Amino acid sequence: MRKYITTQLSTSDIDTFSIEIGGGNIVWTSGEGSESEIFLYDGTETIQLSDNDVKDTFSRMGGGNVVWTSEDGSESDIFLYNGTETIQLSDDDVEDKFSRLDGNDIVWNSQDGIERAKFFYNRAITIQVSDNVVFDGIPKVDGNNIVWESGDNNEREIFFYNGTETIQLSDNDVEDTFSQIDGNNIVWESGDNNEREIFFYNGTETIQLSDNDVEDTFSQIDGNNVVWASGQGSESEIFFYDGTETIQLTNNDVLDGFPQIDGNNVVWSRIIVSESGEIVTNPFLATLTNNAVFRLFDASTRANVYTTDEDEIEDLIDDGYEDRGIAFNSADSLSGQPVYTFVNEDNGARIYTIDEEERVEIADTMTDFSEVDTTFYAYETRITGTVPVYSFQNIATEGEFLTTSSASKESLDDNNDFESNGVDFYVFPESDLG
C-alpha cells in the first residue's frame, strides 16, 4: 500500500490563494486586501519572493522561474524570480499585467486606457512586440514565440510574434479569440456567439479545421495535434486533428467537452444528467493510434483472419497462413466498440460482429464456433475519417471475408460462393496508417 506524506507549506493565518505547481515547485499568493506577497516552495524550503506594502499577485511559474504582478493603485509592474534573484522587468507609470512565461521567456501587457503594448523579455532584454490603440488580449508564450488577440469587443484578430517579426494570422469581421500556442503552431476560434470555427496555423499556412453550423470551442494544441469540442447546448462531440486529417472521437447525444491534449493522448469530460436529475461528470481518455489490422489467409481452408495481435500473426504464419498485409486500421479502444471474433477450430473460419445481439445469437446457434479475444475496434455508425467494412460469408465454410474496397465488393456481389452481409462496421482506411 502506498503511503503519502503531507507537508504544511504555510503557517500564516491570512488568506492563501492562486496556488500553482510544476517541476516539484509550488508558488502561491498570501495576503489580504491591498497587500499580498508571493511565496515559493522549492521542494525543500519555502522562500518569500516579495516583501513590500503593495499587492503582489497573478503569479505564474515555469522552468524554475516565477513571474508576477506588483500592483499599487493604478500602476503595476512585472517581477521575475530566476531561481537566484528577483528582477524588476517593467518600471513605468501604467499597468503592466497578464504576464505569462516559458522558462526564461516572458510576455506581458502594458496598459494605458484602451491602449496596450505587448512586451517580451528574452533572457536579458525587453522587446516591445505591439504598439497600437486597441485592446491586446492576454498573450501566450512558447520560447521566442508569442500569440495574442488584438481589437475591440466585436472584432479581434490573431497576431503572432516569431522572435523576429509580428505576423497577422487572421483578418475578418468577427472575433478571433482563445488562441493557444505550441512552438510555431497556433490554434484559435473564429466567429460569433452562435457559430464558431477552429483555425490552425502550422508555421506556414492557416487551415480551417471545422466548418459547420454549431459552436466549435475549447481548442487545445500539442505540436501538430489539435483537439476541440463541437456542438451546442447539452450535446457536443470531441474532434481530433493529427496534422493531416480530422477524426471524430465521440459520437453520442450527451455533452463531451473541455478536452486537453498531450501528444496522441486526449482527455475530456462527459457530462450527463442522471434519471434522478443529478449532473454527473466523468473523465474519458483516448489514446490515438493507427493500429493496423492485418489479414492472414489460409489457401487450403480459404479462412481469413483479421487481427492486430503480433503474436497471433507470427503463429498463423508459422501454421502456413499467408500475410496479405494491412486490411484497414482499428479504432482506438475507448472511442470505438469491440469487434467480437468467433472461430471454427476445424477449418479456421472466423466470424466478426460489432453487434451485441448478433454476438449472443452466434454463441447460441453456431455451436461449431467459439468466441476468442477481441483484437481490434470499430464504429457501429460512420464518423468523420472512417470507411465502411463490407462483409461476405463463404457459404461453404461459413467464415467471413472483410473488405473496404468497392472493387472487391462488386466482384463478390457477383460470386455465388459468397453471400453479402452488407456493412458490418466502420474503420479507418489502410492509407491513414501513420
Q: pLDDT digits over 155-197, tens only?
A: 888 989 888 888 999 988 888 989 999 999 999 999 876 789 9
Look up residue 131 and give its DSSP letter. Answer: -
The helix (H) or strand (E) run that includes residue 315 is helix 310-318
Residue 356 forms part of a structural domain: yes
What is the chain's pLDDT, residue by residue, as a tens digit (434 residues)?
A: 445 666 777 766 677 777 877 777 888 888 877 788 888 888 888 888 998 888 888 888 877 788 889 987 778 888 888 888 888 888 888 888 888 877 777 888 777 554 556 677 776 677 666 666 556 677 888 888 888 888 766 788 898 988 888 899 998 888 898 999 999 999 999 987 678 999 999 999 999 999 998 999 999 999 888 999 998 777 899 999 988 888 888 888 889 989 998 877 888 988 887 777 788 788 887 766 657 899 999 999 999 999 998 889 999 999 999 999 999 999 877 678 899 999 999 999 999 999 999 999 999 999 999 999 998 999 998 887 789 999 999 999 999 999 999 999 999 999 999 999 999 999 988 754 33
Residue 138 forms part of a structural domain: yes
Last residue in a domain, options 231, 262, 287: 287
Same domain, 272 and 302: no
40 within 8 A of 79, measured Cβ to Cβ? no
Same domain, 281 and 308: no
Domain residues for the domain of 134 are: 16-287
Same domain, 188 and 73: yes
Rounded CA-CA distance 329/378 in Å is 9
Domain total of the chain = 2
332 within 8 A of 289, measured Cβ to Cβ? yes
Same domain, 53 and 139: yes
The helix (H) or strand (E) run that includes residue 411 is helix 406-413
Distance of CA 251 to the CA centre of its chain: 16
Same domain, 282 and 327: no
186 within 8 A of 164, measured Cβ to Cβ? no
Same domain, 234 and 182: yes
Residue 412 forms part of a structural domain: yes
Rounded CA-CA distance 35/14 in Å is 11
Rounded CA-CA distance 311/375 in Å is 11
Strand-strand pairing, 140-142 and 246-248: unpaired
Same domain, 121 and 26: yes
Name the residue among 354, 349, 359 with its Cα closest to residue 396: 349
Same domain, 274 and 298: no
Same domain, 191 and 327: no
How many Å from the N-terminal Cα to the C-terminal Cα in the chain? 40
Distance of CA 105 to the CA centre of its chain: 25
Burial of 299 (C-beta count, 10 Å sphere; 0-12/13-18/19+): exposed
Please give the model's pTM, rounded to 2 decimal places.
0.58
Phi, psi at 238, each rounded to 5°: -100, 130
Same domain, 296 and 258: no
Greatest pairwise CA separation for the chain in angstroms? 90
